[in-house]
Structure 1
């Protein structure tokens, strides 16, 4: 009994102070009402009492609150709390019961309120659910909200009285929601919710992001940016040119073969040729030189085209494997060109002699081989 008396006296003093503050902050019209306003307030009060008796608490509450705007008597506050309690607004009802008790203290005209308000307060204190919210991993600096209202440090360190029903607990980091949980409480429940933030959601990419920012974001995620990709067109062009050059070299090799046949006919199958064979030999040297150059360029072009195609599919900085393949293709091209040069160098050899071997008169003779 002593403990209950002490508890009552403590909240009694706090509610008395709250009631005094409410009275001091009331507008001047609340202290000096006209007869018409008071008559209208009495009529509203009687209507509200009738609605409450008919169990239409929502309509009764609206009328009681309109009466309180004119005059806040202990009876009006008590009836507001009664309607709120029946509507499930237990936290607000408890507050209005306490204010009504403080206003009725020492007022002989509010004896009926003083006689019943204590039991109402004790009943609601036991029925109101309690919700404890704690910060978990990753949520130490986040803003914690309960039903959309940010909580302070004192609320986070104590149990929060809430109305029965569902409640949303969320956490925000900056302007982004990082965690969200819905918890439902019944009357007399006590629950604890721990807010943890495992992974902060990524901020949406603005539509007006610059190309440089998009490229940096792509690089950070490991994806090549559009600007860092190389076109395959140069590789295809070089490859096609190499193939065409090689084909031209083959054509000139065919012409060289025809020249060999002509020289065989003019020279009789030996190494000594008459002066009339010199144009044919010159033509053979020309075909041989052109074939050498065309085949060498064709091999280099094909190798370079393949290297460009290998390195054109990814970012500007190719992977080590692609770089090795390109280097190998280039080396093969150079080796092929050198081999073609050596092969071409042995295709034809011709010399102009001051005197044909075996001739009995002075003159010029072309001796050569391909």
Structure 2
């Protein structure tokens, strides 16, 4: 281990000497002043020392600072070597190739030309590769590898990646639709198929072999409820007719008393009482007719109100009640249970012109 470390240090020292010579011989330009070149030489010496101490991360930063001043084949080679030791195989492979291209035909970069070919060949074999393909549902999705979108050419070839863990995502619009994490080691080659398991968007036609959707079963519409207005109208008319009948009953009673006075309580009445008797007969007929209509109207109105507005399920019940005689109010005779008086045009024992009043209690 100690001998190998000495050999590696000697290589770095030789490389540093070659680079310093290249920097010293480099022609000046307006972008590179003597001060900048002196700073680049100092940074390079510090980077070589850090690399020899196996502090590749710090050495890489200084080599990259030198490259911003002067990108010589030696600087590119040292950057690639640091990246290789840090496990950044993809970037190291790219910088080795840049160093080889820069050293071609340069007599001052013979050391780079002598070593870079073997480094490139070794890294090409060690660098793992990922083959990312579109699967079901991902034909139009945006595919990203470690946060970077992949183009069509990358999706059709094997992608060199650094050893370690990588994240593959698929996006539909601004939404992440799929995510997969894959770990690769050196020399691995893996294929990842990105699939999106989601329902089709709205408006997508069903498959050709899909059965037609079942027609919705519509519930039968409920029967329209009859209005309560006719019931109220008939009931009101019945009450009004009964009231009219009551008025004529009162008038009839007055007529009966007037006839009693004219006839003197006898069954025979003078001819002068005939208009009063006629009026009494009119009042009696009107009262009986009005009260009869009133009773019928009230009963009918109650039935109509009972069978309306209660919903379809209540109609059969109301009909059953009507059939049993429970839906209507009991009827009373037109004359009621009170006293009743009758006017007779001819009573027994009276003459043709006489009137007779009969009463019942």
Task: Please classify the TM superposition score into its range, dividing by the shorter chain length.
Answer: 0.5 to 0.7
**Offset of residue 290 of structure 1:** 3.7
> Using a 3 Å threshold, how does the CA distance of structure 1 residues 362 and 62 change in structure 2: closer, same or farther?
farther
SS state of the match for residue 308, structure 2?
A: helix
* 2:49 aligned with 1:55: no
> Using a 3 Å threshold, how does the CA distance of structure 1 residues 117 and 175 change in structure 2: closer, same or farther?
same
TM score, norm. by length of structure 1: 0.56
Q: Which residue is equivalent to 1:302?
A: 310
8 Å CA contact retained: 1:30, 1:69: no
**Offset of residue 117 of structure 1:** 1.2
1:347 aligned to 321, 327, 331, which one?
A: 331
**Offset of residue 332 of structure 1:** 3.7
**Offset of residue 133 of structure 1:** 0.8
Q: Which residue is equivalent to 1:191?
A: 190
Matches within 5 A, 1:91-240: 91-199=90-198
Whole-angstrom CA distance in 2 between matches of 1:364 and 1:43: 152
What are the superposed Cα offsets for residues 27-50 of structure 1, whole Å, 9 maximum, x if unpaired?
x99774111100000001111111
SS state of the match for residue 344, structure 1?
A: coil
> Using a 3 Å threshold, how does the CA distance of structure 1 residues 348 and 105 change in structure 2: closer, same or farther?
same
Q: Which residue is equivalent to 1:46?
A: 45
Whole-angstrom CA distance in 1 between matches of 2:124 and 2:133: 23
8 Å CA contact retained: 2:307, 2:315: no
Whole-angstrom CA distance in 2 between matches of 1:150 and 1:110: 37
8 Å CA contact retained: 2:79, 2:95: yes
8 Å CA contact retained: 1:292, 1:340: no
What are the superposed Cα offsets for residues 87-140 of structure 1, whole Å, 9 maximum, x if unpaired?
111101000001011111222221221222111111111110010011111222
> Using a 3 Å threshold, how does the CA distance of structure 1 residues 200 and 295 change in structure 2: closer, same or farther?
same
TM score, norm. by length of structure 2: 0.58
SS state of the match for residue 138, structure 2?
A: coil
* 2:66 aligned with 1:37: no
8 Å CA contact retained: 2:77, 2:99: yes
Whole-angstrom CA distance in 2 between matches of 1:29 and 1:167: 44
8 Å CA contact retained: 2:288, 2:334: no
8 Å CA contact retained: 2:136, 2:194: yes
2:301 aligned to 280, 293, 314, which one?
A: 293
Whole-angstrom CA distance in 2 between matches of 1:329 and 1:165: 75
Paired residues in the alignment total: 257
Whole-angstrom CA distance in 1 between matches of 2:33 and 2:313: 103
What are the superposed Cα offsets for residues 47-101 of structure 1, whole Å, 9 maximum, x if unpaired?
1111111222111111111100000011110111111111111101000001011
SS state of the match for residue 334, structure 2?
A: strand
Whole-angstrom CA distance in 2 between matches of 1:290 and 1:56: 112
Which range is displaced more, 345-354 or 91-100? 345-354
Measured on the aligned residues, the alpha-carbon RMSD in Å equals: 4.7
8 Å CA contact retained: 1:75, 1:113: yes
**Offset of residue 348 of structure 1:** 4.0
SS state of the match for residue 139, structure 2?
A: coil
**Offset of residue 342 of structure 1:** 9.1
Whole-angstrom CA distance in 2 between matches of 1:179 and 1:353: 103
Bigger Rg, structure 1 or 2 = 2
**Offset of residue 200 of structure 1:** 5.2
| Structure 1 portions without partners, runs of 5+ | 1-27, 204-237, 246-251, 253-274, 304-327
8 Å CA contact retained: 2:307, 2:314: no
> Using a 3 Å threshold, how does the CA distance of structure 1 residues 363 and 143 change in structure 2: closer, same or farther?
farther
**Offset of residue 189 of structure 1:** 0.6
* 2:70 aligned with 1:71: yes
